[in-house]
Every structure is written in structure tokens, then in C-alpha cells.
Amino acid sequence: MSETHTMQNRVAAQSSDEANRHIRHETDENVKFYSQHPELIPGRLKELEEEWDIERTLETNASTLTLVGILLSVFVDRRFLILPALVAGFLLQHGLQGWCPPLPFFRERGIRTKEEILRERNLLKAIQGDYDDICTHADAPPAERVNQAFRAFD
């Protein structure tokens, strides 16, 4: 198992069941919607390519807070150095455990792991016919193509 795959599993394992269910439900609803509107799938695939995953979100958030803390410590008061120190500790905790204090906040707002984004992407590509060996009947009705795709990627 790759290190990235392990981190993504740790993020989901450290997320609340409710957040994980919500994210999975939203993904499944997206897939069902786009199966009924296959002409929109290429646009959705482009959106998925640009979607920020949880790692990028946490890294950007941490970098921003670190820079703000450093600037405040230089121009306002040295005690603001506590902010970058806390952020560094949170990043270390996330790297070691897959959890940090901001993680629940972002997960509850639907920020997904790369793996979760990739799942939706692969399901849509299967429905669109990109994986003809998975969806055995290209002329199958959309509901059956969705079921075949879910079985293949779950």
C-alpha cells in the first residue's frame, strides 16, 4: 500500500462517521445526477481536476496562518510567534496520525481526500464509457451503468 493511500485512509479513519457518510452520499448523488445527464460529464471531470483535496486545503491553510503569525510577530508583537508554532505542531500531528484540529472543520464541509475525488472521477468515466471492459453493456440504461460502475469501484 502506498504512503499516499495510507494517509487518505487515515484521514477518513480520523473523520467522523457523519462526515464520511455525507461525503460519500454527496459523491453518489453527483454520480447519479451525471448518469442522467451524460452530456455534462466532461464539465464535471474538469471540475474534479481542479477540486482541492484535504491535503492541499490543510497545507494552504497552515502556510497562510504561519505567514500571518510571522508577519504579526515582526510588526506587532513577538508573542504572535505562538501561531506558527501551533500550526507546525498541527502539521506534525497530521503527518503522524492523519488528524489535526482543523481536519473535522474541513471534512464537515465536504473537503475530500484525493482518493474520494478519484472515486467520483472513475465512476463518471465508467458511466461515460471510458472503461468499456467494466460496464459490459454500453447500451445499458443509465441506472444499470451506475450500478455497474459502483460495483467496479467499491
Q: Where are the domains of the chain?
A: 3-153
> What is the C-alpha separation between 118 and 122, in angstroms, rounded?
6
Is there a contact between 84 and 26 (Cβ–Cβ < 8 Å)?
no
pLDDT < 70 regions, the chain: 1-8, 132-139, 153
The string of pLDDT tens digits covering residues 49-63 is: 999 999 999 999 999
Task: Quote the pLDDT of residue 3.
Answer: 54
